[in-house]
Every structure is written in C-alpha cells, then in structure tokens.
Amino acid sequence: MFGIVARSSALMVEALHTALDGLTVIISLVSALISRRKATKRMSYGYARAEVLSALLSVLALALLCAKLFATGVRRLWRIYNGEQIQVDGMLVALAEAITLVSNVGMALVLARGTSSKSLNLRALRAHVIADCIENVVVLVGGVIMWKIPNFAVLDPALTVVIVGVIVVMNIGICKETVATLMQSAPRGVVEGIADDLIAINGVMSVRRLHVWTLTTGCLIGTVVVIVDDDASHKDVKKQVEEVFAQFGVENVTVQINDADERDDGESIASDRSDTNVGANGYEFVREDDDIV
C-alpha cells in the first residue's frame, strides 16, 4: 500500500519480499512440525527432509520474486532514461521503512536466540530476515535522499536492483546447501577422510561401496563394505570402522565385513588410494602395498 501511494518501486519490492517472508514463516513452522513425526514402514528415515523441502520451496519462490523485481527495476530505469518524469514521495518511503526496520530487527533477534543453527529451514528463514534488515536500511537511506532531493527519482529503481542483489547474495549459500542435501552429497572431505582412516585399520585390505550422504542438516548416513584379511577379527574391525564414522559425525552407519575370498570378482577394485571407482557402487579404496585384482 505504502509503495503504491509513494510511487516507489523499491518500497513495493521490499514489501513483496516481506510478504514472502511471512509466507516462509508459516511454511517453516508447518515443516518443522512435520519433520518431528516418527518413522513409519514406508518412511523409514522419518520426515526429517520436510524442512529441506521447505527451504527449497522458499528458495524457488525467492528466485521467482527476484527475477520479477529485477525486471521491474530495469524497466523503470529505462523509462527514466527515455525522459519520463517519475515523482517519488521520499518522506513516506523513509517513514514506512523505519517502521518495518524496527519490526524486522525484532524478528532477527528472536530467531538468533531461539533457533538451532543445524536446521537448514530455520537458517534459510534467518537469512531472509537479515536480508530484509539490510534492505530496510538501504531503502530508508534512499527515501531520505529522495525526500531532500525530489528530482533524484532515478535512485528508486536503482535501489530496486540493489535490493535484488542483496537478496541473491544473502541466500545463495542456503540455495547451494539445499540442493547439495537433496542430491545426497557428503560434506567436503568426509568421504576422503573416512577412507584414509579405514584403510589404516589393522587387517583392512580394501574399502568398497563407501557411501556417505546428508539426510538433513546435521544428520549423516553411511554404508560401507570392508574387505579384511583372513586373520582379522570381524567384530574388532567393525567396531573400529563404526568409531571412524562417528569421528566424522556419521552416527547412522551400516557396515559389512567380508573376507578377501568373499568379494565379488565381477566388480573392480581401485588400484590405489587416488584411483577411485565411483558410481552406484560408491567409492572403493585399497592399500597401495596390496596386490588385489
């Protein structure tokens, strides 16, 4: 409403973003409740990924909003460049942003104190609110300038483009992490670190079908097949393997121990630590001093 009355595209952009944040809050609360549901026979991992899906939905909605707002800002800049006179009520813009800034700062403080940093969904919400606060300051300063210099209306669409840039920068990290989680990626260095430590276990000849993936933020799942020599104790090796996974934050792990003569000769094993065979069967590593073919 204020954006329409003040004829300010920057204020309308900020208002739309704030409205989107309100919708995001509702989606976040619903997904948080869903994620607490217990596992079932069909949903054996539970509903933890509801928060990840919520974060993805929030990012997609934000991307569409940014595209729309960027086009609006550029179009208005083009109109001003072609000589169209646009009058913006700078005082109303500044007043509206001052009120909104106080509200967003309060929300940011609440989220900073009351949410877990492990929740991807809530971190996405926090990023939204922080971006809002930055936008409020930018538009507030712009409103004051346009109030004092009425003919400087070009600042309004320019601020619109700047705000879109702020939104993108503040959310690109959450976007990348959300996509990585849905692609079942492992944190950087975890697979390599686990492989190195597993190979170092006494009696382990090779590591096969090593998988580590992120179910949701802070929850890693792992599976592995370990080939041991004939003299190795399966029980002792399995315990050490589980300890290695735990050191890297992988608490939910499935371990299969095989003797060397039990491995499937139809599947290849890598010839050294740096040469890996990856695909549906996961990463595979062997000791460099072992001659396994």
Summarised one tens digit per residue, pLDDT across range 11-48 is 777 677 777 777 877 887 888 888 888 888 888 888 88
| Cβ–Cβ < 8 Å for 45, 112 | no
Q: Which two tokens stand for residue 144?
A: 């004051």
Residues 261 and 230: their CA atoms lie apart, in Å, by 9
Residue whose pair of structure tokens reads 């004829």 in the numeric block: 7
C-alpha span between 65 and 15 (Å, rounded): 12
Residue 129 near residue 111, CB atoms below 8 Å:
yes
Give pLDDT, residue 198.
Answer: 93
- 272: DSSP letter: B
Secondary structure tally for the chain: helices H, strands E: 8, 4
Mean pLDDT, the chain, as a whole number? 79
Domains and CATH numbers, the chain: 2-182 (1.20.1510), 190-286 (3.30.70.1350)
138-181 pLDDT, tens per residue? 888 888 888 888 777 788 788 888 888 888 887 888 888 888 88
Higher pLDDT among residues 58 and 238, named by residue:
238
| pLDDT tens, position by position, 92-115 | 878 888 888 888 888 778 777 655
pLDDT for the residue 269: 36
- What phi and psi, each to the nearest 5 degrees, are found at residue 181? -65, -45
* Cα–Cα distance, 198 to 241 (Å, whole number): 6
Q: What is the mean pLDDT of residues 179-204?
A: 90
pTM for the model: 0.68
